[in-house]
Amino acid sequence: MQTTTKTVPRRVFKRFLAVKKRNYVAATIAKFPRKIKGRVKMRIMEILLQAEEETEVLLQNE
């Protein structure tokens, strides 16, 4: 059986994978890849990483 790669757009698939891994930030970026430009994307990633670290610290303290 031959598998078709173009049945689902690649970024939709990537978004699905991201959501599956609970990586909602990556999912959001995958959702609007063309709207988010380089610098803005970097800033968003920084904020998200910071938020992730903070939640991890909070979870460890409990």
Name the token pair of 13.
């698939």
1 has pLDDT over 50: no
3-state secondary structure of 16: helix
For the four alpha carbons of 32, 35, 37 and 39, in that order, the dihedral sign comes to: negative
Q: What is the pLDDT of residues 23-60, one digit of tens each?
A: 666 666 666 666 666 677 677 777 777 777 777 776 77
* pLDDT at 19 (0 to 100): 61
User: What pLDDT does residue 2 have?
Assistant: 52
- Asked if 44 and 25 count as a contact pair (C-beta separation under 8 A), the reply is yes
Please indicate, yes or no, whether the overall pTM of this predicted structure exceeds 0.85.
no
- State the pLDDT at residue 43: 75
Residue 15 pLDDT class (50, 70, 90 cuts) = low
What number of other Cβ atoms are within 10 A of residue 11's Cβ? Answer: 15
